Amino acid sequence: MNIGTFRMVYEETLFAFGKLLLLYITIPLLLLWLFIGYFFNLGEDVVAAISGPTYFFILLFAINGFKTIFPVAIGMGSTRINLLKTFYVVGLASVLVITFILNVFQWILLTLYERWNVAAQILHPATFLNREYTFLSYYLIDFMLGIFTFSFFFLFYTIYYRLGFRKCVIWLMLFVIIGTLLKYSDLMNFSIWEWLVTQNFHDMVIFLFSFVITISLIALFITYHIMRNAPLTAKSKKD
């Protein structure tokens, strides 16, 4: 792994997640909800949310991070393959760290709300499956969804980069038409979401985690083959 390329990707990640996300957004949000919880009487209908910006920044980094680094790294002598491998390693490690820090903040918020007898709920994806909180299970869900967001939005970006806007719209509409026909022709009447919410969350979390991580890594593997010989400029919007 090229040291110059690693440092470039690392510094971009540190700025996006460490400075912008944590220092300027997530920590102020945490302090705001702690202040509101301590001084105001919050009911059960109130939902404290500090996780939204994390997912948005993971999405943003998957697209804009690579877009910013790509021409600069190649111009400084890095190869596409080396840049991709560095981006994968640093990106996945960043998601691992940032979701852990997020869950520490959520644990602090939950612990203090319980101590202060605050009835407000904490917004978290795991609550749609099971409302019982454990740090590990909630962290696994955040990490899983973070990897999924990073992998698939980077995949969508690389497809757009290589195909262009017009071809992407054509393929998107083709998938929409096929999916609509399958749904209303009763060929695909099984609802994954309905099945998920009927399962015991603690019994299936490892299976769900393994499945989502696997398909996310497959998505990254596809991006490698899409971008390893990519030109320096993306297809135009007219292509």
Q: Which of 53, 58, 87 is nearest to 70 (CA)?
A: 87
CB 209 within 8 A of CB 140: yes
- SS3 percent helix, strand, coil of the chain, rounded to 5, is 75, 0, 20
∠27-31-32 over CA atoms, to 5°?
115
State pLDDT tens for residues 173-190: 998 888 777 767 765 555
Helix (H, G, I), strand (E, B) or coil at 9: helix
For 78-121, how does the pLDDT look when each residue is reduced to its tens digit (9 = 90+)? Answer: 899 999 999 999 999 999 999 999 999 999 999 999 999 888 88
- From CA 93, how far away is CA 87, in angstroms rounded? 10
pTM assigned to the model = 0.88
Other beta carbons within 10 Å of 187: 8
Give yes or no for residue 201 having a pLDDT over 60.
no
Query: How confident is the model over 57-76, as a mean pLDDT?
Result: 91
